[in-house]
Structure 1
Amino acid sequence: MDPALRSDRLLVRDWTVDDAEEAFAIYGSAEIAKWLAPAMQQVPDPIAMRSVLEAWIEDQPNLIPPSGHWALVRRADEVVVGGLALRLLPPHEEDVEIAWQIRPDEWGRGYATEGCRLLMRWAFTQDIDELFAVARTNNTRAIATARHIGMEWVGETTKYYGLRLQVFRIRPADLDSVPS
């Protein structure tokens, strides 16, 4: 993403392989991984995390915007506090999902909300007309975040990943009512 997205507290930027240790604190966490499967499995160690980051970095230039994976960095100390993604949802790869993962030790600080709002505003400059978020019915944190970032609940489905998921949607006009 060029240029990187910024708020007073956060920076959304491309991943680097040097982020492997900090990314492992996110994607190696069992607390996070249980919600990601089957889209992504828990990363077993920092070496494997480095490989995942290498794959994301290599894929990024070949993805059709706005798809991609990005690091969410706290500007005050340059610590990676989370990851954000925009990706096409299976099975038909028509719907674009916004996804967020925040390190468990950073939960409750509003980083997911702030980072998602930055990414949503940018995504809607990339010729798409809606974004979706999906969450398992018992993932209360993700459901609360989806609502907090201004997404509207549109129902429950088994369409994506063959799992029973809550589906949320936001459109560009909805951003006008969402604080920056």
Structure 2
Amino acid sequence: MTAPLRTERLLIRHWTLDDAEAAYKIYGSPEVARWITMKEVDDVSAMRSVLEAWVEAQPNLVPPAGRWAVVRLADNEVIGGLSLRLLPPFEEDFELNWQLRPDAWGHGYATEASRALIRWAFDQGLEEVFAVARPENKRAIATARRIGMEWVGETDKYYDGRRLQVFRYRPSDL
């Protein structure tokens, strides 16, 4: 993404190293970390190392792949992250995922940011976007439905055979 995306309440932009403390409030939160496949982040220093890798990798990713910070415009705080990446093991399907710090839950930010990113991804030529969630992750499943994603079934082909709910969004769903 060459320029940040804006919604009514949010800015979606590239991560920077200055975001380490804010990112740690997201990815270091036990409520968030339990649902994601990322290696555990124990402190701000570890989060800074993760961000260094993300920042370094970003220019080499072919759009629409990437990782972005979600900033609340009202107070300019980083409240979450979004990514579009190829799902393992075949790297054919693009996965949308979102993470928000727990105090930002319940305000529709994940839905708002995800819809904006999906529209941008479709403008880049992507034909469909998937989201996967563990069956017990009720919040993620509810968010996928609020985004407007269609449930397409369960699979264990992604992420080491873990059973996951699969949701899909296509341009015709806009």
TM superposition score normalised by structure 2: 0.98
* Counterpart Cα distance in 2 of 1:96 and 1:121: 14
Contact 1:97 1:134 in 2 (8 A): yes
Instruction: Indicate the residue corresponding to 1:170 in structure 2.
Output: 169
Would you say how many aligned residue pairs link Structure 1 and Structure 2? 173
Q: Does 1:156 align with 2:154?
A: yes
- Which deviations, in whole Å up to 9, do the C-alpha atoms of 1:130-167 show, x marking residues without a partner? 00000000000000000000100000000101100000
* Counterpart Cα distance in 2 of 1:41 and 1:28: 10
Instruction: Indicate the residue corresponding to 1:103 in structure 2.
Output: 101
* Counterpart Cα distance in 2 of 1:43 and 1:110: 26
Instruction: Indicate the residue corresponding to 1:54 in structure 2.
Output: 52
- Structure 1 residue 42: Cα displacement: 2.2
* Counterpart Cα distance in 2 of 1:126 and 1:137: 31
Q: Considering only aligned residues, what root-mean-square deviation do their CA atoms show, in Å?
A: 0.6
* Seq. identity, %: 68
- Structure 1 residue 2: Cα displacement: 1.9
1:1-180 matches, cutoff 5 A: 1-37=1-37, 40-161=38-159, 162-175=161-174
**Regions of 4+ moved over 6 Å:** none
* Counterpart Cα distance in 2 of 1:90 and 1:33: 19
Unaligned stretches of 5+ in structure 1? 176-180
Describe the SS at the equivalent of 1:35.
coil
Contact 1:29 1:42 in 2 (8 A): no
* Counterpart Cα distance in 2 of 1:82 and 1:130: 23
Contact 1:30 1:42 in 2 (8 A): no
Describe the SS at the equivalent of 1:58.
helix
TM superposition score normalised by structure 1: 0.95
**Structure 1 letter corresponding to 2:27:** Y
